[in-house]
Structures are given as C-alpha cells and as structure tokens.
C-alpha cells in the first residue's frame, strides 16, 4: 500500500546513507593502511640501500687503501734512495712497474706516462682517473676499454707523493667480472637488483637480473621510456644536489620501488636499488589481504543483517496485518480492512459514486446452539465464498 511505502522510505534512505558512509570508511581505511605499508616499504628500502652502499663503499675503500699503502711504500723507497731529479724519479717509477709481480698494478709519472701489461709505455694523461689522482683525489674509473686487449676494465687510481708533492699516480686494473663480484649482493631473495650510474645516468655496473635487460646504456633514458618522466626529472635534481632519493616505477608491467644514493667515496657514482613492491612488502601484502577479507566479511555480515532485519520486519508486518485485516473464521477481510480499502477507493475516485450493501443472517445463533460453532463457522465460510465468487474486480 502507498501508506506502507511512505513509511518504508525513511528506513530505506537510512540504509542507503549508512551503506555509503560504510563504503567511504572502508575505502579510507584501505587507503590509509596501504599508505602505511608503502611508507614502511620505502623506509626499509632506503635503509637497505644505505647498508648496501656502506658495504660497497667499504670494499672499494679497502682496495683504494691498499693502493695507498703501496704508494706510501714507494714514497719511502724514494726517500731511502734520496732521489731528487725528475729523470731519476721517472726511471724509478718505470723500473718499479716493470719489476712488479702484480700485472694489475702500474705506475704513471706526473706527465701521464705509464707502464702497464707487458710494460709498454702508454700515455694516460687524458684519462679522467689519472687527472683526478694527479689532483689528489683517489678514485675508481668508470667502465673503460683496455688499450692492451680491448676488454672492458675499471681502474682504481691514487696519488703518489714524494716530499709532500704529487709526483705521479699508482693504478690497479679491475676486470668487469671482478668489479661485478665486488658489487654482488643478494637482495630480497635475489628478486631485487642494483645499478651503479654516473651523474649523467650512464650505467657503470648492474646486477644480473631479468629487469636489468636494458633498452639502452643510460638509466635515465630507460626510466623515461617506461613512462616515468617526472621520476627522471626529480632524480636528476637530487643527483645534481648530491642527495638520496626514492621513486616508484613500472618495469615490464611490474610495480617497483627504487631508492638511489651517492657513493661519496667514489667520484660521481650513484647506487640505485630496485625491488618489486610485492616482494619488499610481502608481509604487508598478507596483512592487506587479511584486512580485505575482514572488510568483506564485515560487509557481508552487515548486508545479511540488513536483509534479515528487513525480512523480519516484513514478516512481523504481515503478521500484524493478518491479525488486523484477516478474519480468522472466513479467511476474508475484516471490517477494519474494509474501512481502509474504502478510504483508498474514495481517495482515488473522487468523481464516482459508490454504494454499500449490508446483510445479516437471521437467527444464526440457533445454528451455533444446535449444531455447534464448528458447523456455524463452516456455514459462514460457505456464505463468504459464495458472495466472494459473485464479486467483480474493483
């Protein structure tokens, strides 16, 4: 009935509004929890990058310190021989290189003339690692091509002092394999991977990983091609300011977290560590799944409760209507139901006239007295069914 529908509207509106509020709260909670997990993952990754940098830096500095020790020994040897002339100094450096049992070590004078493998003199004055060392900066070079065998190598270089002056440099050659082993690290069950890049983004080293199958030799260019131009811009700004940073990226369809930091002890090198988000936040993902399951369970419980409440309310309404509007003897309408139906009919049809037919059964009480109430009720039902069969719709 219209009256009943009107009564139901506030309830339906309340349920609808409550559902919207509940949905909004769930979405907010899910977003909040996800942000907490992402923040925790970011902090973990940045801490791991810092630890990796410290380990790698320690290894690099250990090798450079070894070169410094050799450099100090050579300086002591020069002092013992009391060499002062430049020609004598150069001859000493040449002889030392030729007599060295370690083929990976070679010396160069201040003019950049060095004796490397097979002790052939070559000019390294144009090499960046030599220029930095001759200026007093110990360093390890970027990947370069050997003039001897054409293979990729790295060169560690430190200044050589005598009488408080730099008279040359001492170098150690690292093969690409040796340098990769130096940087080898197991990250998140081998699912993480690392790059070493310079300030211009060119890749110096990288771990062996499927996601390191590079499109180019420049990390900036690769990230840009993955569609993350904003991350490239921020990364360039951070590197220019010699700052650490963090970015999210999508590599081969997989969302990753990447953190980068300068390796201060190695000139112009930066360490980039990348890890898939589902790996670094594995425990967090389990928590999120449990959270989703709990939320779904709560929503289902709420919906079932609402449905049960609505069903129970409807059942109670039908029970009350039956008590008020259904005659318990004939199963037909009561007088109260008649009044409600008449009122609705008059409200709908104000331009029509209606008539009321009323009749009674004379001396009906004698039937109840002589034959009993069960017989009387049966006769009343028969009368009701007969009259009801004559009725037309409306």
Q: Exposed/middle/buried for 121, CB within 10 Å: 0-12, 13-18, 19+?
A: exposed
**Taking the model in full, what pTM does it have?**
0.54
Quick one: pLDDT at residue 188? Answer: 46
Domain boundaries, the chain: 41-55+180-284, 83-177, 326-390
Does 41-55+180-284 match 83-177 in CATH topology?
A: yes
Contact predicate 219/213, CB 8 Å: no
- Residue 355: predicted pLDDT: 86
- CATH architecture, range 83-177: 2-Layer Sandwich (3.30)
CATH class of 41-55+180-284: alpha beta
Per-residue tens of pLDDT for the chain, all 394 residues: 444 554 456 666 776 777 778 777 777 777 777 677 667 666 776 677 677 777 777 777 787 888 888 888 888 888 787 777 777 777 887 777 777 767 788 888 888 988 775 567 888 899 988 999 999 988 888 888 887 778 888 898 999 988 888 989 998 888 888 887 776 654 445 667 788 888 888 888 887 766 666 667 888 888 888 778 888 888 899 988 888 888 877 766 677 778 888 887 666 788 888 877 666 555 556 666 777 787 778 778 877 887 888 788 888 888 877 788 888 888 888 888 888 888 888 888 778 888 888 888 898 889 989 999 999 999 999 999 999 899 887 6
The pLDDT value given to residue 380:
92
């Amino acid at each position: 009935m219209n009256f009943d529908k009107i009564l139901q509207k506030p309830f339906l509106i309340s349920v609808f509004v409550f559902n919207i509020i509940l949905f909004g709260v769930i979405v907010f909670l899910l977003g909040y929890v996800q942000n907490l997990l992402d923040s925790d993952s970011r902090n973990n990754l940045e801490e791991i990058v810092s630890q990796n940098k410290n380990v790698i830096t320690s290894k690099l500095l250990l090798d450079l310190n070894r070169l410094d020790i050799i450099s100090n020994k050579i300086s002591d040897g020069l002092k013992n021989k009391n060499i002062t002339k430049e020609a004598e100094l150069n001859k000493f450096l040449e002889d030392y290189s030729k007599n060295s049992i370690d083929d990976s070590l070679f010396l160069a004078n201040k003019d950049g003339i060095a004796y490397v493998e097979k002790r052939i003199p070559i000019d390294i004055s144009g090499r960046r690692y030599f220029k930095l060392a001759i200026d007093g900066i110990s360093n390890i070079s970027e990947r370069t091509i050997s003039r001897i065998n054409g293979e990729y190598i790295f060169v560690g270089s430190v200044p050589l002092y005598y009488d408080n002056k730099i008279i040359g440099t001492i170098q150690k050659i690292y093969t690409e394999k040796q340098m990769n082993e130096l940087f080898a690290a197991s990250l998140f069950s081998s699912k993480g991977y690392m790059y070493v890049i310079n300030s211009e983004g060119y890749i110096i080293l990288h771990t062996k990983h499927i996601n390191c199958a590079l499109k180019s030799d420049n990390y900036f260019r690769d990230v840009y091609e993955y569609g993350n131009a904003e991350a490239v811009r921020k990364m360039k700004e951070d590197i220019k300011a010699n700052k650490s940073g963090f970015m999210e990226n999508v590599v081969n369809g997989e969302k990753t977290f990447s953190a980068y930091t300068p390796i201060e002890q190695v000139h112009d090198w930066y360490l980039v560590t990348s890890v898939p988000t589902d790996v670094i936040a594995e425990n967090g993902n389990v928590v999120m799944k449990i959270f989703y399951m709990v939320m779904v369970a709560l929503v289902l419980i709420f919906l079932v409760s609402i449905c049960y409440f609505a069903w129970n309310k409807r059942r109670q309404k039908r029970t009350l209507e039956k008590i008020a509007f259904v005659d318990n003897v004939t199963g037909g309408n009561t007088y109260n139901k008649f009044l409600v139906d008449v009122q609705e009919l008059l409200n709908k049809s104000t331009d029509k006239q209606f008539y009321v037919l009323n009749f009674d059964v004379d001396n009906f009480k004698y039937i109840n007295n002589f034959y009993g109430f069960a017989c009387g009720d049966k006769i009343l039902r028969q009368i009701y069914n007969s009259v009801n069969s004559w009725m037309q719709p409306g």
